[in-house]
Structure 1
Amino acid sequence: MLIKKYLFLLLFGVALSNPFTAQANFDFNANCFKAYQAVFELRLNTAKQLIAAEKRVHPDNSIVPLLENYVDYFYLITSDNKLEFDRLKDRYDDRLDRIEGDKDKGSPYYLYAQAEINLQWALLHGKYGEYFTSAKAVKRANSMLNSNAKKFPGFHLNMKGIGLINVFLGNMPDGVLKSALATFGISGNTQKGLAILDKLAENLPKSSFEPFYEEVVFYYAFTLTDIVHSPQAYAKTMKFTQRISDSSLLKSYLQSYVCLKNGHNEEAIAILASRPSSDVYADFPYLDYLTGLAKLNKLDLTAATYFNRFLQGYKGTNYIKSANLHLSWISILKGDIGSYMAFAAKVKNNGYAFIEKDRQAIADAAAGVSNTDLLKARLLFDGGYLNRALAVFAGKSAADYSGLKDRTEFYYRLGRIYDGLERDETALNYYQNAINSGKNTKFYFASNAALQMGKIYSRLKDKEKAKTYYAMAINMKDHEFKNSIANEAKQGLKNLSD
């Protein structure tokens, strides 16, 4: 495999000599390639050592600031630490200045490297709520990549960023970041972006750009899963990651995350259990959090071990509230209300609320002790254990649940289960009951039921009913997840008209 990669690198160098004419100042040589590969296996200290060696031997190589930025980018992803983000973000301008000052402005890497650094920091700034700074970086990256694509149409790496920007902007929910981008006149096209990324994932292995394949797959997998919620996310991710080496911790992360998000829970557990583990890899406590989620989805209460390990080893910002919420759920399933109260208090008092998972944890904890049936069904459904989830409600009706919230959730959970089992008519009936019961509540059940009905009718080619329910999901206000549900419904409407 390594010989094959170096062969591709050799071919890559030949390809750049004609027609791109890469000069020594942008020298993606064998040592730089080894550093790049180390980054994408999450061997970040190894990458740092290789980059330091490159700086000593070739101090003017302008690929170095790009590689340094990759290291910081993945360090911030794996550590998820805002204090580290604040410490490192000042390196952004310095790296751009080093590249911009390079005399080799005729290289395809001149604009590409600057665009990549801008795009990476745009994603990081957006993650921490610095929306205007993020928008400016997206604008710069977009302009540079499109200009570079015109100058060097055969330099296919341009399309990675162009595809990502199109998906990201085309599917962006209403909010501060979208407004900031609108001031710069930037828009995107989700389907165009997905088509670009899919084409790259299919074709890079057959080209001289093969060494950059893993990066394309990294971005493509997350756009499919987190941005567009594609039903093809699992199949495409597993297909495209198959050829990546098992020594890559990033591969384990990608596969387990996508499996977990798409109901392939047993596979997620197996991948996480067999992930590469040694001191050469970046510290990545989030993988313990994912293991906890996967274990709890099958009602395996040893999940507590992994949530506690995450909380003990994690120095970051996010998922602290969510981990404590899941520990409170384990207490409910054990019948230990005293422990539940202690963990619910930690949800309120510990951690931050930057991300939706943690904001939802606050809402879930504030709602009080969950009904055990509803909690079990929720977890089993998330794990893809649909028949086990259905069995939880055997012989039960809405009358068995007290309170409007629990009755609405009963209808909603059954709708989701029957939807997953592809029993459309039964699912539609339960979803409609959830809407009727909960449309005036602050909970997300009714709105998401309307969204799921829109998806079913869209699948059944009943455009009018699909439009009706997508519009209903958009028009329900003042409930949990309103932005993400409304945005997904808007994309559903857009897909109907395409």
Structure 2
Amino acid sequence: MTRRLILFLLLSFSLIPYTYASFEFTTNCKQAYTEILNLRLDVAQQYLEKEREANPENRLIPLLENYVDYFRILSSDDKSLFDKLKKNKSARLSKISEGSKESPYYLFAQAEINLQWALVRGKYQEYVASALEIKKAYNMLNENLEKYPDFLPNKKGLGMVNALIGSLPSSAQKALGTLGVRGSTERGEKMLEGLVEDLPKSPYKMFYDESVFYLMQVWVNITKKKQAFEAIYVLTDPMEDTSLLKLYMRAFTAFKTGHNDEAIKHLSSRPKDADYVDYPYLDYLLGMAKLHKLDFSAVTDFQRFLNGSNGGSYVKDAYLHLAYISLLKGDSAAYKTYCSKVKVEGTTYDEKDKQALSEVDEGIPNISLLKARFLFDGGYYKRAKDLLAKENANSYKQKRDKIEYCYRFARVFHETGGVNGAIKFYQYTIAFGKDAKYYYAANAALFLGDIYVAKKQYKTASSYYHKAIDMKNHDYESSIENKAKEALKRMEGKY
């Protein structure tokens, strides 16, 4: 081979572009990710198709496609769709594994897919598979954090995993511990809080909206942050006003923190453009918010939810609340009809639906206590207190009603700053209800623990947390027990 031929071949090969499976947030990928978080999933898919044509080797495509599936399942709550789409997981992981191992997205993308499926599987009670996926995500994210400590997106999944594991019942935490997965709600919360603060001034600011979504879930559902409403409003302000996820976060936080009118305002003005994903749960949420102010037009929203749902979560609970509206309107025939539907329609994946079955079996509730419950849950504390003050608990024939009366009064006092009144009525609740199957007494003990922590009377707080743990065979047992154990952990070394 002549020197001239060798030189020609070398020059020829040097002109062939060096290609490899990349992880690149191109314009199409950024647009797709933005639209996913806006819950305009079909629009997001169109951007991904454009990216596939322009850059088929981009290994972020399968990750973003998994995001589409994840949010589609969450918004539809369709078990059959979940069963169909979960088959996509292995092929996507296989494609990502062909990418460059030198990219911080290599392990991150695989971890994200495992975590997303773990969260969805947990919803549908596939606990073993969910635990294994959490383990994989946990290990990958920790390894990636060690290799790329400045890659902030690692902390998004790690923060959520830590917070989630810390909130699980002790038995579930032990099971995950045998897999080498251990978490702390406090550590996860702090990690997400720090991440949300750091992202806007970093190259990874595109992950801000999703990180706020995770933090909102932790604050509202797990740690019950007192200032969650105000904080989430500030944190979501930079998000696009067209984002349905932004609207959901604001509405859900308002709903869960006693800012009911704000929840109604947001849910009533949500965008109805065809590009947005169908999200029946928002109709259920609007129905609940209206009912919390005793607005019986909630019937329309519950019916719309039932018509749009796929028979999954909150169906039993929606029928229960339609039954309660009928009862409050004096229509006993409709009340019985809806109660019968609670027993046969929907699923019991969610605690709300399990509780709905339990409440139906308890029989007709006390009308005044039912109204007080709804008003309290909506944050209308004065209306609830005025209603309860007119009641004579000694006239109640059922022990259940006497226990609930004490509990409802305690909660109103607690939320309006009447600590002494709250302590007295929580103690009454425990005295009357410690051996009953209702959750009131155990939750009263939990709240008393919180009150005495605020007073820095840690021994007294500890005794009430232990009382909450020791009460068994009641509704929400595992949830209350785990909250008490988490509180005891936070108090370690203080007394």
Give the TM-score range, shorter chain.
Answer: over 0.9
Distance 1:23 1:252 in 2: 40
Contact residue 433 and residue 440 of structure 2 kept, 8 A: yes
Q: Which residue of 1 aligns with 2:156?
A: 160
Contact residue 298 and residue 380 of structure 1 kept, 8 A: yes
**Letter of the structure 1 residue corresponding to residue 268 of structure 2:** A
Contact residue 331 and residue 340 of structure 1 kept, 8 A: yes
**1:244 is paired with a residue of what secondary structure?**
coil
Runs of 4+ in 1 over 4 A off after TM superposition: none
Output one character per residue of 1:200-248: Cα deviation in whole Å (capped at 9) or x when no partner.
Answer: 1112112221111001001110011112222232232222111111100
Q: Identify the match of residue 108 of structure 1 among 99, 104, 126.
A: 104
Q: Which residue of 2 aligns with 1:366?
A: 361
Q: Which residue of 2 aligns with 1:325?
A: 320
Q: Identify the match of residue 49 of structure 2 among 49, 52, 62.
A: 52
Q: Identify the match of residue 265 of structure 1 among 232, 252, 260.
A: 260
**Letter of the structure 2 residue corresponding to residue 198 of structure 1:** E
Q: Identify the match of residue 336 of structure 2 among 324, 333, 341.
A: 341
**Letter of the structure 1 residue corresponding to residue 161 of structure 2:** I
- The answer to whether structure 1 residue 72 and structure 2 residue 69 are counterparts is yes
Contact residue 430 and residue 445 of structure 2 kept, 8 A: yes
- TM-score between both structures, scaled by the size of structure 2: 0.94
Q: Identify the match of residue 451 of structure 2 among 456, 461, 472.
A: 456
Q: Which residue of 2 aligns with 1:288?
A: 283
Output one character per residue of 1:120-177: Cα deviation in whole Å (capped at 9) or x when no partner.
Answer: 01111111111111111111111111111111111111111111111111221134x4
Distance 2:450 2:371 in 1: 25
Distance 2:345 2:410 in 1: 34
**Letter of the structure 2 residue corresponding to residue 141 of structure 1:** A
**Letter of the structure 1 residue corresponding to residue 145 of structure 2:** A
Distance 2:244 2:410 in 1: 37
Contact residue 220 and residue 256 of structure 2 kept, 8 A: yes
Q: Which residue of 1 aligns with 2:27?
A: 30
Distance 1:81 1:396 in 2: 43
Residue correspondence of structure 1 range 459-498 to structure 2 within 5 A:
459-497=454-492
Distance 1:402 1:234 in 2: 39
Q: 1:394, CA displacement in angstroms?
A: 2.5
Distance 1:105 1:165 in 2: 23
Q: Which residue of 1 aligns with 2:13?
A: none
Distance 2:315 2:449 in 1: 34
**Letter of the structure 1 residue corresponding to residue 114 of structure 2:** N
Q: 1:293, CA displacement in angstroms?
A: 0.4
**1:106 is paired with a residue of what secondary structure?**
coil
Q: 1:179, CA displacement in angstroms?
A: 4.6
Q: Which residue of 2 aligns with 1:134?
A: 130
- The answer to whether structure 1 residue 250 and structure 2 residue 242 are counterparts is no
- Greater CA deviation, 115-124 or 226-235? 226-235
Q: Which residue of 2 aligns with 1:81?
A: 78
Distance 1:278 1:416 in 2: 40
Distance 1:201 1:228 in 2: 17
Distance 2:177 2:197 in 1: 32
Q: Which residue of 2 aligns with 1:305?
A: 300
Contact residue 79 and residue 316 of structure 1 kept, 8 A: no
- The answer to whether structure 1 residue 214 and structure 2 residue 203 are counterparts is no
Contact residue 96 and residue 110 of structure 2 kept, 8 A: yes
Q: Which residue of 2 aligns with 1:399?
A: 394
**2:389 is paired with a residue of what secondary structure?**
coil
Distance 1:477 1:273 in 2: 41
**1:282 is paired with a residue of what secondary structure?**
coil
**Letter of the structure 2 residue corresponding to residue 87 of structure 1:** K
Q: What percentage of residue pairs aligned between the two structures are identical?
A: 45
**1:187 is paired with a residue of what secondary structure?**
coil
**1:138 is paired with a residue of what secondary structure?**
helix
Distance 1:340 1:180 in 2: 43
- Greater CA deviation, 285-294 or 151-160? 151-160
Distance 2:119 2:438 in 1: 30
Q: Which residue of 1 aligns with 2:7?
A: none
Output one character per residue of 1:26-71: Cα deviation in whole Å (capped at 9) or x when no partner.
Answer: 1111110000000000000000111111111111110000000000
Distance 1:80 1:227 in 2: 21
Q: Identify the match of residue 118 of structure 1 among 114, 121, 127.
A: 114
Contact residue 418 and residue 424 of structure 1 kept, 8 A: yes
Distance 1:91 1:24 in 2: 20
Distance 2:24 2:481 in 1: 46
Q: Which residue of 2 aligns with 1:169?
A: 165
- The answer to whether structure 1 residue 61 and structure 2 residue 66 are counterparts is no
Contact residue 28 and residue 63 of structure 1 kept, 8 A: yes
**Letter of the structure 2 residue corresponding to residue 329 of structure 1:** Y
Q: 1:24, CA displacement in angstroms?
A: 6.4
Q: Which residue of 2 aligns with 1:378?
A: 373
Q: Identify the match of residue 143 of structure 1 among 139, 157, 169.
A: 139
Q: Which residue of 2 aligns with 1:275?
A: 270
Contact residue 412 and residue 434 of structure 1 kept, 8 A: yes
Q: 1:393, CA displacement in angstroms?
A: 1.7
Question: Judging changes above 3 Å, is the alpha-carbon distance between structure 1 residues 307 and 248 closer, same or farther for their aligned structure 2 residues?
Answer: same
**1:90 is paired with a residue of what secondary structure?**
helix
Contact residue 166 and residue 173 of structure 2 kept, 8 A: no
Q: Give the unaligned 5+ runs of structure 2.
A: 1-18
**2:189 is paired with a residue of what secondary structure?**
helix
Contact residue 115 and residue 144 of structure 1 kept, 8 A: yes
* Higher Rg of the two aligned structures: 2
Contact residue 332 and residue 370 of structure 1 kept, 8 A: no
**2:170 is paired with a residue of what secondary structure?**
coil
Q: 1:464, CA displacement in angstroms?
A: 1.1
Contact residue 23 and residue 107 of structure 1 kept, 8 A: no
Q: Which residue of 1 aligns with 2:9?
A: none
Distance 1:412 1:154 in 2: 49
**2:258 is paired with a residue of what secondary structure?**
coil
Q: Which residue of 2 aligns with 1:223?
A: 218
Distance 1:233 1:162 in 2: 21
Distance 2:358 2:43 in 1: 42
Distance 2:453 2:237 in 1: 32
Q: 1:183, CA displacement in angstroms?
A: 2.5
Q: How many residues were matched structurally?
A: 475
Contact residue 131 and residue 180 of structure 1 kept, 8 A: no
Q: Give the unaligned 5+ runs of structure 1.
A: 1-21
**Letter of the structure 2 residue corresponding to residue 484 of structure 1:** S
Q: Which residue of 1 aligns with 2:4?
A: none
Distance 1:311 1:182 in 2: 40
**Letter of the structure 1 residue corresponding to residue 90 of structure 2:** D
Q: 1:23, CA displacement in angstroms?
A: 7.4
Distance 1:126 1:183 in 2: 18
Q: Identify the match of residue 188 of structure 1 among 183, 202, 219.
A: 183
Q: Identify the match of residue 437 of structure 2 among 442, 446, 465.
A: 442
